[in-house]
C-alpha cells in the first residue's frame, strides 16, 4: 500500500494492490456499513465505489435541492425548461475544482407532466476505482482513506464472504393483465397513434431481500454492458444493464448502443444457435431494431456535428445473461455549444425502453403502465470535465421500505402478439429472478 497527501480540496490518495475479484471488493465496501449512501458502477472492466455525501443534488418534479460543502442547503422551485438544464445549473455551482457525481434518473424525467422524484445524484466523500489489480482510493481526509484501505487489504488476505443462497422468484405470474396491455397497445399502433411502445409489468418479490448478495449472485450470472448497486436515501437498486444509454468523454465524443430484438439465451449450444438464427431473420425483430437505430441517429443529429454521426456494428447479436439481442452502436461528436447534458436530454429515455415516436410512446406508457421510477431510467456518473456515462436501467431489482420488486417489458409493434411479448418479459426477468437472495 502506498500513501500520498494532496494539497487541494480532496487531500488523501491511497493505492492498494489486490488479487481477489473486484466484485468482491465492491461487495465488501457496500456491506461494510461505513456509508449510508453509496453507488457502485461497473463499466468496461473498471469498478467504482462512491460512498458518503460530500455534495448532493435531488431533482423533484417542482423543486431542485442542492447541498455543497461549506454552504447551506439550497432549494429552488423548478417548473419550466428541461430537467437536464436544472441538473446542469445545479452542478455549475459545485464549489470544488474537481468532482465526480453518481446517481440515478427516473423514467418520468422525460414525461410532459412529471411527478415524484426525477433524479438523485451525490458527490461522494470517498471514491474507490478498481481495475487491473490496483484500487485507487480518493477521500476527503487521510483517516477516511486509510479506513477504506484496511477494509480492502482485509479482502485480499481473507476468504471472501459467501453471498446468501438465492430464492428464485416465479416470473410466470400476472400474464392476464399484461396480455391485455399488449393487446391495447397493438390496437393503438394499428390506429396510427404511434409505431412502437414498450409495455412493462411489475413483479413483486414476496420476501425482504439482501441487496448486496443479490448484486454478487446476479453479476456472476450476467454479462452486462454496465452493472450497478446503489443505496441512496433509503432506496436500493441493483442491476445488470444490457445497454449504454449515452456515454460522452471529455473531448465530446458521444456513443449510444440501442438494443432491440430479443431471444432466450443460455439454453444450450444448439438452442442458443437456433435462437440467434431466428433473431437475425425474424422480420418483426429486424424492423424493431432498424427503427430504433434510425431514431438514435436522428437524436444525435440534434446535438452532434451531423457529419460525425455514424453507425458501427449494425445488428450485431449481443449476449446479455438469459437473453440475446440485436445491437448496434451509434456515435458522433458534440456540436459547438452542446454538452453532455444536451446529449442526455436528446437520448433519454432510451428508445428501446420507450418507443417511436418518443413523445407519443411516453404518453401511452403513462396510460398503459404504472409509475416506472428508476425502471427504464438511468444510472449515471458525470464529471467536472464534461464527461458522462449512463446505463439504461433494465434487468434490475428495486427495494424500498422492505418491499422489493422486479420489472420487465417488451417492444410492441403492429406485428406483436400478447403471447410472444409476455414470453419475452419472462426471458428478460430470468436475468435476475433466479439470483434474488432473501435477508437471513
**pLDDT tens readout for residues 380-399:** 999 999 999 999 999 999 99
d(CA 308, CA 285): 28
Evaluate whether residue 416 is within a structural domain.
Answer: yes
What pLDDT shows up at residue 8?
A: 44
- The alpha carbon torsion through 189, 190, 191, 192 (nearest 10 deg) reads 60
**pLDDT tens readout for residues 247-287:** 999 999 999 998 877 788 878 888 888 888 888 888 888 88
CATH of the domain at 407: 3.60.120.10
Q: What is the DSSP letter of 167?
A: -
Range of the domain at 360: 175-207+253-371+401-435
Evaluate whether residue 197 is within a structural domain.
Answer: yes
Q: Which three cell numbers stand for residue 396?
A: 434490475
Asked whether the bond before 64 is cis by omega within 30 degrees of 0, the reply is no
Residue 37: Cβ-neighbour burial (10 angstroms; 0-12, 13-18, 19+):
buried
d(CA 115, CA 102): 22
pLDDT at 179 over 70: yes
d(CA 390, CA 384): 15
Evaluate whether residue 89 is within a structural domain.
Answer: no
SS (H, E, C) 217-244: HHHHHCCCCEEEEEEECCEEEEEEECCE
d(CA 234, CA 239): 17
The confidence band for 203, taking pLDDT boundaries of 50, 70 and 90, is: very high
Evaluate whether residue 129 is within a structural domain.
Answer: no
| Nearest residue to 256 (alpha-carbon basis) of 357, 327, 323 | 327
The confidence band for 1, taking pLDDT boundaries of 50, 70 and 90, is: very low
Read off the pLDDT of each residue in 33-37 and give the average, rounded to a whole number. Answer: 94
Residues whose CB is less than 8 angstroms from the CB of residue 336 and which lie 6 or more positions away in sequence, other chains included: none
Asked whether the beta carbons of 38 and 26 are under 8 A apart, the reply is: no
The cell 481477489 sits on which residue? 20
Evaluate whether residue 424 is within a structural domain.
Answer: yes
d(CA 337, CA 3): 40
| Nearest residue to 198 (alpha-carbon basis) of 330, 393, 397 | 393
Q: Which three cell numbers stand for residue 401?
A: 421500505
Evaluate whether residue 420 is within a structural domain.
Answer: yes
pLDDT at 407 over 90: yes
What pLDDT shows up at residue 68?
A: 96
Enclosing H/E stretch for 426:
helix 418-429
Q: Which residues of 110-141 are buried (b: 16+ CB within 10 A; e: fewer)?
A: bbeebeebbbbbbbbbbbbbbeeeebebbbbe
| Nearest residue to 247 (alpha-carbon basis) of 104, 120, 387 | 387
Read off the pLDDT of each residue in 186-206 and give the average, rounded to a whole number. Answer: 96
pLDDT at 72 over 50: yes
What pLDDT shows up at residue 2?
A: 41
Three-state DSSP class for 295?
A: helix
| Nearest residue to 89 (alpha-carbon basis) of 81, 71, 97 | 81
- The alpha carbon torsion through 229, 231, 232, 238 (nearest 10 deg) reads 40
Read off the pLDDT of each residue in 305-319 and give the average, rounded to a whole number. Answer: 90
pLDDT at 373 over 70: yes
Q: What is the DSSP letter of 159?
A: P
Active site (annotated) includes residue 243: yes
Three-state DSSP class for 423?
A: helix
Evaluate whether residue 305 is within a structural domain.
Answer: yes
d(CA 12, CA 194): 54
% of the chain residues with pLDDT over 90: 75
Asked whether the bond before 75 is cis by omega within 30 degrees of 0, the reply is no
pLDDT at 38 over 80: yes
| 263 to 238, 267, 279, 283, 416: CA distances (angstroms) | 23, 11, 6, 14, 14
**pLDDT tens readout for residues 344-368:** 999 999 998 999 999 999 999 999 9
Question: Given 243, 288, 421, 427, which residue is catalytic?
Answer: 243
What pLDDT shows up at residue 174?
A: 84
Read off the pLDDT of each residue in 84-106 and give the average, rounded to a whole number. Answer: 95
Read off the pLDDT of each residue in 289-303 and give the average, rounded to a whole number. Answer: 93
Residues whose CB is less than 8 angstroms from the CB of residue 94 and which lie 6 or more positions away in sequence, other chains included: 55, 68, 123, 384
Residues whose CB is less than 8 angstroms from the CB of residue 176 and which lie 6 or more positions away in sequence, other chains included: none
Alpha helices in 252-411 (DSSP H): 269-281, 283-303, 340-347, 358-368
Evaluate whether residue 157 is within a structural domain.
Answer: no
The cell 397493438 sits on which residue? 186
Domain count, the chain: 1
d(CA 125, CA 47): 17
Asked whether the beta carbons of 432 and 396 are under 8 A apart, the reply is: yes
pLDDT at 199 over 70: yes
| Greatest alpha-carbon span in the chain | 66
**pLDDT tens readout for residues 155-164:** 655 545 568 8
Gyration radius from the chain CA atoms: 21
The confidence band for 79, taking pLDDT boundaries of 50, 70 and 90, is: confident
Amino acid at each position: 500500500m502506498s500513501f500520498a497527501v494532496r494539497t487541494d480540496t480532496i487531500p488523501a490518495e491511497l493505492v492498494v494492490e489486490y488479487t481477489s475479484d473486484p466484485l468482491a471488493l465492491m461487495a465488501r465496501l457496500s456491506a461494510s456499513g461505513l456509508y449510508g449512501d453509496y453507488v457502485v458502477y461497473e463499466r468496461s472492466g473498471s469498478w467504482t465505489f462512491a460512498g458518503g455525501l460530500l455534495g448532493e443534488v435531488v431533482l423533484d418534479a417542482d423543486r431542485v435541492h442542492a447541498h455543497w460543502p461549506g454552504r447551506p442547503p439550497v432549494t429552488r422551485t423548478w417548473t419550466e425548461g428541461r430537467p437536464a438544464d436544472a441538473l446542469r445549473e445545479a452542478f455549475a455551482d459545485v464549489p470544488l475544482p474537481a468532482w465526480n457525481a453518481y446517481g440515478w434518473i427516473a423514467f418520468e424525467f422525460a414525461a410532459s407532466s412529471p411527478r415524484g422524484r426525477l433524479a438523485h445524484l451525490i458527490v461522494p466523500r470517498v471514491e474507490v476505482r478498481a481495475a487491473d489489480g490496483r484500487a485507487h482510493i480518493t477521500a476527503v481526509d487521510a483517516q477516511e482513506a486509510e479506513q477504506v484501505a484496511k477494509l480492502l487489504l482485509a479482502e485480499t488476505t481473507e476468504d471472501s464472504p459467501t453471498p446468501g443462497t438465492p430464492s428464485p422468484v416465479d416470473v410466470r405470474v400476472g400474464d392476464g393483465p399484461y396480455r391485455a396491455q399488449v393487446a391495447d397497445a397493438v390496437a393503438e399502433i394499428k390506429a396510427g397513434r404511434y409505431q412502437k411502445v414498450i409495455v412493462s409489468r411489475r413483479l413483486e418479490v414476496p420476501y425482504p431481500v439482501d441487496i448486496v448478495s443479490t448484486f454478487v449472485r446476479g453479476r456472476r450470472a450476467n454479462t452486462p454492458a454496465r452493472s450497478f448497486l446503489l443505496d441512496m436515501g433509503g432506496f436500493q437498486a441493483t442491476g445488470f444493464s444490457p445497454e449504454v444509454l449515452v456515454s460522452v468523454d471529455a473531448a465530446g465524443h458521444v456513443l449510444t448502443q440501442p438494443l432491440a430484438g430479443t431471444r432466450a439465451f443460455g439454453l444450450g449450444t444448439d438452442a442458443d444457435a437456433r435462437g440467434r438464427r431466428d433473431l437475425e431473420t425474424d422480420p418483426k425483430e429486424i424492423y424493431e431494431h432498424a427503427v430504433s437505430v434510425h431514431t438514435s441517429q436522428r437524436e444525435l443529429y440534434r446535438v452532434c456535428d451531423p457529419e460525425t454521426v455514424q453507425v458501427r456494428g449494425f445488428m450485431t447479436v449481443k449476449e446479455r445473461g438469459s437473453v440475446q439481442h440485436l445491437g448496434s452502436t451509434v456515435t458522433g461528436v458534440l456540436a459547438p455549444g452542446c454538452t453532455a447534458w444536451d446529449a442526455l436530454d436528446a437520448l433519454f429515455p432510451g428508445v428501446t425502453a420507450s418507443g417511436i415516436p418518443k413523445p407519443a410512446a411516453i404518453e401511452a406508457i403513462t396510460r398503459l403502465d404504472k409509475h416506472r421510477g428508476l425502471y427504464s431510467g438511468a444510472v449515471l456518473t458525470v464529471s467536472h470535465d464534461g464527461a458522462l456515462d449512463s446505463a439504461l436501467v433494465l434487468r434490475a431489482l428495486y427495494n424500498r421500505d422492505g418491499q422489493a420488486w422486479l420489472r420487465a417489458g417488451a417492444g410492441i409493434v403492429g406485428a406483436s402478439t400478447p403471447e410472444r411479448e409476455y414470453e419475452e418479459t419472462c426471458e428478460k426477468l430470468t436475468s435476475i429472478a433466479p439470483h434474488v437472495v432473501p435477508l437471513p
